[in-house]
Structure 1
């Protein structure tokens, strides 16, 4: 069953790749069949085997030899590993089903945010709804945790955004900073979902980890790409996954 859960995760990860590409473009996730982004050739099933095809083809299209993004492989591998980890945690149960769906939603949100720096609202809503099914807290406690963690970061977003728009923009004489927000709108529902699942202490630990992981990419985006927007959902999800499985917040007890 452990091997089956890993294979199932990899197969579903292949479908998650389809969602990541097509949902922001408002395309059908069923039709047409997957095709090369460069030559548009329909990909035969034997060139579309999760994980194995990417390795066998050495990350290149079988038809035009164009390089395939390693993100496809990463999504499949991450989905496989998380599915296995959740199976080991819950075995085959309803809790396992809820947790798997919730984690798959987080994966899709992360890679869409990474690619487009914007995420569909309905995916944010779904992730928030599923978080209540994954939480070990009562409904009242879960709501309380969601309101506190998201409310705290709404206030923090206001304060930091005020500094960026009104002080930093004048110091650096950068007009583009006058409209910059510290956090994206999509970050708040994800923070709320993390609060529902982990509780306040766990959520704070996850956010702390996310901030650490985001520092170097943020510096890179600012100075190399001259891009002031850093997608934060992927780092929130990394922090969440580490806290969820390793319970880092126990260190602060």
Structure 2
């Protein structure tokens, strides 16, 4: 199977990230892509069930049951699928799996000829039994290279890459309220302190003679940086049984909800 970007937990990764119900995106999506027949109103359901329950659990795939060869992709810059793609890869039960990190917007990556050819090679090997070298990627992680530097409020003296989960530990209080929603984002600054953006689609693949100021301020085209959110009362981790994972590994992989 080839899940090129996806969600592994609809509540935790999308409509209720960090235990904060937020259905603005799904309101827009329903308006744009609704068909002629009826469909489930997930926005109304998160208003009805703002906390994780059996309704949301029913929408969570049993990733440990995946046993077939798996070729997944995950992008650094998508606002929707990064967490689900990575966790889906890490939690899948397959013993033959390959994760390819992408450095452009997911739709752009999907249709690049070299990536389509690579996917064909994967299917030819595992579905048709062709000896074309795909087996060398079994149980491995491949990372697309991108030659950019990084500078945050912590100054790096040499070229540095930050890869993996970015945990943030805060000690906060709100004496006038019984709860609070916390949002965090990592922003990249240049040596002069100017905020930088990552452009998800290479300029040479955009129409016309566009410059940076012409690019719309939308996640499809720009990435401001990885972000997280958490309702303070949801800081504890809900445990579920995942065969093959101990408590430490589970807490490292699973977000609060």
Relative to the length of structure 1, the TM-score reads 0.24
The higher relative CO (CA closer than 8 Å, separation ≥ 6) is in 2
Which protein has the bigger helix share?
Answer: 1
Which protein has the bigger strand share?
Answer: 2
